Amino acid sequence: MSGPKVVRIVTREEIIAICEGHLRRLDQAVARWEAQAEKLGQLNEQERAATRARQGRLRALLTEDQLQALQKAVPIEIEHLQRDQLAREERAVRQATEQRQHQRRMQENAALLLKALVSRTDTAPQVVQALTQLANGAQLENAEQLLAQGFAQLSSSNELQTLGEQQHALAQRLKDDAPSPDLTTWLAERAQTTRDPRLLQIDRHIAELHLLQGAACAAPFVQALARAEAQPRSQQRNLLLDSLMIELADNSHDFQLIRDSLAKLHDLANEVRTHLDTGNEALLEQVSQCTASTSQAIVSELRSRCEAILATHVQAQAALARRQAMLQGLAELGYEVREGMTTAWADSGKIVLRKSATPGYGVELGGKAENGRMQVRAVALSRDRDTQREKDIETIWCNEFGRLQAMLQGNGGELLIERAMGVGETPLKEVLVAEDEDMAAATQLRTK
């Protein structure tokens, strides 16, 4: 198919720019992963070194001209870092939840002991004081030792009959098992007793909130939980717990959305800062001030502005590279390429090139290079010509187009045919360039 064609061109410069963009996003992903893992205490030097080594190998692909491999591998590495970060966060949240659950069991056990020892007169005051602190939520390093002391006093009591049935059975079991109770075993057994399942979910949400958003953000929810648990009426307590669960779940969902949006916004802003040094200072300053408390609408609006700026810049750079690549290739095929043709093509939307080997004929390049699509066709430069040669001219252009494709491919680019017409399907377009029009006008005047 050697007639007029619609083609799509991708230059080597465009591919390199894409690869460099991938590497910039990789740098940001590594920095974000490293900072978050370190903040959570979920990072060691071996893991840090391994990640940076992978980053170095991917960056080396650019210098090794492995552009296709780089475009495939970098997004995979970024996705891996994102999944690994989420896994580390989940592990840290699970550990923090287990700590909260352990503290809750300490508090419940201390409250039970105090209730059982309330009628004892021989209980050491310091034990009662410590158990009271535990029951009120204090975190004491020797909590398990204090509980063991309380159980030891309880098991030695001669007033077991004054205890309730549950306390009696517990104290008797501790007494029968060993003089010094195995607190770990007892806690494991105690954990199997019926407990409101909502508390586990609430503890998990609060642990996640504390780790990812900070103690200040978690404090109101911790206070709300304390008020709910202190509510003596079960119906009111259930309402408060249900409401707290919904509020915590909504907060977690909203935080994940805004965090993802902020990450993408900062990535885009970094691209704008890299490509464009001036003219966008106000926008970049607005982005730098965005936090997790910034509304989603503001973040989305800033993100759209960054995307529009980058799209315009990338299109302009790619279009320039495409025009230059086409003109350079045609110059190597013997066509006359003069200074200013790149600008003229961009301004007028088309340009015509001559070739001394085929006088009276040339090639017209048209279309907007911004989207990668162009029209190329052989054209006639004179009204007075032998139309019988037109098929030969189209055949010559067909061969030259194949050589042009090969040259661009050899330079790392692509020239793909999207639509083409066959030889002779349509007459050659007649185009008079400026100097031809002047000559035609002069001829006409001489004739008159």
Judged against a pLDDT cut of 90, whether residue 23 lies above it is answered with: yes
Q: Is the pLDDT of residue 113 over 90?
A: no
Q: Give the DSSP per-residue string, 320-384.
A: HHHHHHHHHHHHHTTB---TTHHHHHHHHSEEEEEBTTSTTEEEEEES-GGGTEEEEEEEE--SS
User: Among 165-169, 184-188, 214-218, 370-374, which range has the highest average pLDDT?
Assistant: 214-218
Q: Which has more pLDDT, 387 or 265?
A: 265
Query: Is residue 404 situated within a structural domain?
Result: yes
Q: For residue range 233-263, what is the model confidence (pLDDT) as tens digits?
A: 889 999 999 999 999 999 999 899 888 999 9
- Model confidence pLDDT, tens digit, residues 134-147: 777 777 777 777 77
Half-sphere exposure of 398 (CA within 13 A, CB side): 14
- pLDDT tens, position by position, 99-110: 888 888 888 778
Band (178; pLDDT cuts 50, 70, 90): very low
At 176 the pLDDT is: 53
Residue 443 predicted with pLDDT over 60 = no
Inside any domain, residue 300: no
Q: What is the per-residue pLDDT for 277? A: 58
Q: Is residue 365 part of a domain?
A: yes
Residue 380 pLDDT exceeds 80: yes
What is the mean pLDDT of the segment spanning 364-376? 76
The answer to whether residue 337 is domain-embedded is yes
Q: How far apart are CA 357 and CA 106, in angstroms?
A: 95
**Beta partners for residue 354, in sequence order:** 362
Is the residue at 276 inside a domain? no
Higher pLDDT, 317 or 176: 317
Secondary structure class of 85 (helix, strand, coil)? helix
In 3-state terms, what secondary structure has residue 229? helix
Confidence of residue 169 (pLDDT cuts 50, 70, 90): low
**Higher pLDDT among residues 47 and 414, named by residue:** 47
Q: pLDDT tens digits, residue range 10-22?
A: 788 888 888 998 9
Question: How confident is the model at residue 158, as a pLDDT?
Answer: 43
Q: Please compute the mean of the pLDDT values over residues 371-397 and round it to a whole number.
A: 81
In a domain, 361, yes or no: yes
State the distance between the two ends of the chain, measured CA to CA, in whole angstroms. Answer: 43
Q: Determine the Cα–Cα distance for residues 122 and 410; give it in Å rounded to an integer.
A: 94
Kindly state the average pLDDT of the residues 110-117: 75
Q: Which of 82-91, 182-191, 270-279, 409-418 has the lowest mean pLDDT?
A: 182-191
Residue 167 pLDDT = 59
Residue 124, in any domain of the structure: no
Name residue 195's amino acid: R
Over residues 42-53, the pLDDT tens digits come to 899 999 999 999
Question: Phi and psi dihedrals of 405, rounded to 5?
Answer: -60, -45
Please give the average per-residue pLDDT across 24-48, as a whole number.
Answer: 93
If one counts the domains in the chain, the total is: 1
Cα 144 to Cα 167: distance, rounded to the nearest angstrom: 18
User: What's the pLDDT band for 179 if we cut at 50, 70, 90?
Assistant: very low
DSSP state of 424: T
pLDDT at residue 301, rounded to an integer? 92
Work out the mean pLDDT of the chain and round it to a whole number: 81
Query: For residue range 270-321, what is the model confidence (pLDDT) as tens digits?
Result: 888 876 656 788 888 899 898 888 888 899 999 999 988 888 887 888 788 8
Six token digits for residue 336: 């006359």
**Residue 404 phi, psi dihedral angles, 5° rounding:** -65, -45
Per-residue model confidence (pLDDT) at position 174: 52
Name the 3-class secondary structure at 316. Answer: helix
- Residue 428: both structure tokens together: 């050659």
User: Mean pLDDT across the stretch 392-405?
Assistant: 85
pLDDT of residue 320: 82
Q: Is residue 385 part of a domain?
A: yes
Cβ proximity of 381 and 360 under 8 Å: yes
Tokens 């200013």 -> residue: 340
Question: Mean pLDDT lowest for which of 119-123, 148-152, 276-280, 418-422?
Answer: 119-123
Compute, in degrees rounded to 10, the torsion defined by CA atoms 402, 404, 405, 407.
Answer: 130
pLDDT band at 86 (very low <50, low <70, confident <90, very high): very high
Say if residue 76's pLDDT is above 60. Answer: yes
Provide the residue range defining the domain that includes 414. Answer: 333-447
With CA atoms as reference, report the closest residue to 106 among 65, 137, 62: 137
pLDDT over 70 (residue 173): no
DSSP states of 104-124: HHHHHHHHHHHHHHTT-SSS-
Amino acid occupying residue 137: G
Distances (CA, A) of 102 to 81, 274, 336: 31, 49, 82
pLDDT level of residue 154 (50, 70, 90 thresholds)? low
Tokens of 427: 């007459």
User: What is the spatial distance between Cα 416 and Cα 5, in angstroms, rounded to a whole number?
Assistant: 10
Alpha carbon separation from 311 to 42, 140, 306 (Å, rounded): 38, 58, 9
